[in-house]
Amino acid sequence: MSIALTTTDVPPTVVRTHCPYCAFQCGTTLTVVHDSGLSPTIAGDDAFPVNNGRLCVKGWTASELLCHPDRLTTPLVRGPDDRLHPATWKAALDRIADAFRRARREYGADAIGLFGSGALTNEKAYLLGKFARVAVGTPHVDYNGRYCMSSAAAAGNKAFGIDRGLPFPVQDIPLAQVILIIGSNPADTLPPIAQWFEQQKARGGRLIVADPRRTPTAQSADLFLQLTPGSDLALANGLLFIVIEEQLLNLPFIRSRTNGFDAARRVALTYHPGRVEQLTGISEATLRKTARWLATADTAMILTGRGPEQQSKGVDTVLAFINFILAIGQIGRPGSGYGCLTGQGNGQGGREHGQKADQLPGYRLIEVDAHREHTARVWGVDPASLPRKGRSAYELLDSLGQPGGIRSLLVMGSNVAVASPHAGNILQRLQALDFLAVCDAFLNETAALADVVLPVTQWAEEDGTLTNFEGRVIRRRQVQAPPDGVRSDWEILCALAERLGYGDQFAFASAEDIFAELRVATAGGIADYAGISYDRIDAEQGVFWPCPTAEHPGTPRLFEQQFYHADEKARFHAVEHRPAGEEPDAEYPIYFTTGRYAEHYNSGVQTRKVGRLRQAKPAPRLQLHPELADHIGLIEPGYVQVASRRGVVMFEAEVTSTIRPDTVFAPFHYGGTAAANVLTQATLDPTSRMPEFKMAAVRVTAIPPTQESR
């Protein structure tokens, strides 16, 4: 029997790449059956040593988005009828360049804003920062990482002189005898990390979790601290009080490797257990047990997530936990240390290469003359032409359409209308713009407001690098060609730069070409990528920065020999507990906090389109304690109305004894009238400018059944 030879007989191609979503950046293998018209099939990559073949439900279903019917494949331009219409690339790009030129002419370059993302590859993030400073000449470029990692990043820089989420590889987790996780729920937000905690437990290790909710992560803990929202800083100072009082300090470590202990000690001594119990709701016995377990173990780790960080005192809160771990000397050895569990796919690299308002590539600072000179030399421009530091993410958005604010905005990789605090205000600000352009693969809630929408390639259609939560630089590899009509973000930036008269500085032919310039731009900086190449990443399963030369092995573990301040020592900081920007009162008596479902990713643009994920979690539900449900007269199953000073949202109720009776919780993955951010408030941390996503005051009322079924 003869079989006709068709193109489908070309053997399937298997490509190793990484998941598009979170900072765990699980290794995946994608199998493409040529000319089948089907999405590639996805599997965990057994050979990638971080996830070892495991994926979460979002990763398993990620390839559904590649051929999704909602995918944008042509530029859209708003017409005189106020609707978006298909347009050519030339018309769409011309429209953006014209709008930018007009804003510059009428208001100056400062009236143009750029908003980037921790979802962008290092190459795109680098190019967006360069585009802002060179082609547009505006200081106002910032990104959604400001909403994500900025408090932990600022604290790391202050305490250690460097900011790398985990200063050690994930393989160190099993080596810790005791781990304290504060306000992170990795069982839902980094599920394959469970294998490392399981190993830790199997070796006899203990886990302590602090969260206002008994999350799936907390359920596997040996000790659970169900603290009052916003009281983490008091908890940390209270732990320091106990180890001082019980003489559990590591004085040789404090003397030889740190500065500033006396001032931190003085402040901590006012946090006696009685006071801390009142602020946190954690009993003295539990506080003492926590402090003793951590201080007397051979190895111990403290890991923070967005719970303590997304507060208007997020930086001081992280500093307080770093004070504690320095004081007990549990840092700089395998199995010990402080780490922040990073969020977005390139949350780490995204904050190192200059899309942040105060930064230049390689974690250089835009306000430091020597750093400006180095970067200007690489870019072939006059250092004096580089703008200074610009507005932070929320402040940038809050200035849209205001006198002296941004008139023309380009958004690349963020759904700011859903993800920003006090979303009602941001919606109004977006509507007050003269011009909005959005680059995205989907028409998200922000893009729907835009004057121009540009369709971009997705993860499996592009090359580039990302830096995972361990500081390991990895490769995103092209699996298949993009659909006709879409372009990469970097190609868009180059095309716009050319129209603005800066084609020479943006003459790149590939992502690898951009990476070559990024290496030079970061050389000698704190986040030094000079020795990293695509070939090395392929050969070595990723390379940890800093990696200054091609011969340098990379740096999996920081702090063994030195911290990164000039004197190589770590710094204590004297930090005080303070109230949140908004605390519950008689009118709004309940704490409102927000976070994530295992099935959805961030503003939900991508995961709400995947059938299995949408069916699992079709809408947000409000978690509330049975006691509160009783108090408001809720009859189950039922709906509740949640009101804050900024807005009202109706949720289906999820009554659960896993949450504190004074606190309610909702996920922020949904837009429109179901957006949790309608309720949140935007008090900013004074240092990191992180908004207070984790603390607002609300009133909860039950909706009578008749009204709900209307």
Using CB under 6 A, list all residues that contact ligand MGD.
22, 117-120, 144, 147-148, 182-186, 188-190, 210-213, 215, 229-230, 232, 305-308, 310, 343-344, 412-415, 418-419, 439-442, 444, 456, 489, 593-596, 598, 600-603, 605-606, 665, 668, 676-677, 680, 693-694
The total number of residues written for the chain in this structure:
710
Nearer to ligand SF4, 191 or 354 (CB): 191
Q: Could you say whether residue 196 binds ligand SF4 (CB under 6 A)?
A: no
Residue 619 CB, nearest distance to ligand MGD (Å)? 16
Residue 696 CB, nearest distance to ligand MGD (Å)? 9
Indicate the DSSP class of residue 672.
G
Q: Could you say whether residue 690 binds Mo ion (CB under 5 A)?
A: no
Residue 31 CB, nearest distance to Mo ion (Å)? 30
The three-state secondary structure class of 307 is helix
Structure tokens at 35: 């000319």
Q: Could you say whether residue 242 binds ligand SF4 (CB under 6 A)?
A: no
* Pairing between β-strand 472-476 and β-strand 464-467 as defined by DSSP bridges: antiparallel
Residue 464 CB, nearest distance to ligand SF4 (Å)? 16
Residue 676 CB, nearest distance to ligand MGD (Å)? 5
Structure tokens at 38: 């089907």
**Token pair 């050389």: residue:** 523
Nearer to ligand SF4, 193 or 319 (CB): 193
In one-letter notation, the amino acid at residue 601 is Y
Residues 6+ apart with CB under 8 A from 674: 619, 620, 649, 651
Q: Could you say whether residue 191 binds ligand SF4 (CB under 6 A)?
A: yes
Please say whether the dihedral angle defined by the alpha carbons of residues 27, 32, 38 and 43, taken in this order, is positive or negative.
Answer: negative
The three-state secondary structure class of 587 is coil
Residue 340 CB, nearest distance to ligand MGD (Å)? 9
Return the residue of 30, 42, 56, 72 that touches ligand SF4, per CB under 6 A. Answer: 56
Nearer to ligand SF4, 520 or 616 (CB): 616
Where do the DSSP E strands lie in 197-318?
206-210, 223-225, 258-259, 300-304
Distance CA 425, CA 682 (A): 10
Nearer to ligand SF4, 59 or 361 (CB): 59
Query: Contact region for ligand SF4 (CB under 6 A) — 168-176, 189-197, 202-210, 475-483?
Result: 189-197
* Site for Mo ion, residues 326 to 345, rule: CB under 5 A: 343-344
Residue 55 CB, nearest distance to ligand SF4 (Å)? 4
**C-beta of residue 633 within 8 angstroms of C-beta of residue 53:** no
Nearer to ligand MGD, 520 or 650 (CB): 650
Q: Residues 397-414, buried b or exposed e (16+ Cβ, 10 A)?
A: bbbbeeeebbbbbbbbbb
CB count within 10 Å of CB 202 equals 9
Tell me the site size for ligand SF4, rule CB under 6 A.
14
**C-beta of residue 358 within 8 angstroms of C-beta of residue 372:** no
Structure tokens at 559: 């702090």
List the single partner that 505 binds among Mo ion, ligand SF4, ligand MGD, none, CB under 5 to 8 Å by kind.
none
Nearer to ligand SF4, 58 or 140 (CB): 58
List the single partner that 19 binds among Mo ion, ligand SF4, ligand MGD, none, CB under 5 to 8 Å by kind.
ligand SF4
Q: Could you say whether residue 500 binds Mo ion (CB under 5 A)?
A: no
Nearer to ligand SF4, 21 or 261 (CB): 21
Residues 6+ apart with CB under 8 A from 234: 271, 275, 276, 279, 280, 577
List the single partner that 192 binds among ligand SF4, Mo ion, ligand MGD, none, CB under 5 to 8 Å by kind.
ligand SF4
Distance CA 110, CA 146 (A): 20
Distance CA 188, CA 211 (A): 14
Q: Could you say whether residue 117 binds ligand SF4 (CB under 6 A)?
A: no
**C-beta of residue 84 within 8 angstroms of C-beta of residue 453:** yes
Q: Which chain residues interact with ligand SF4 by CB under 6 A?
A: 19, 21-22, 24-26, 51, 55-56, 58-59, 190-192
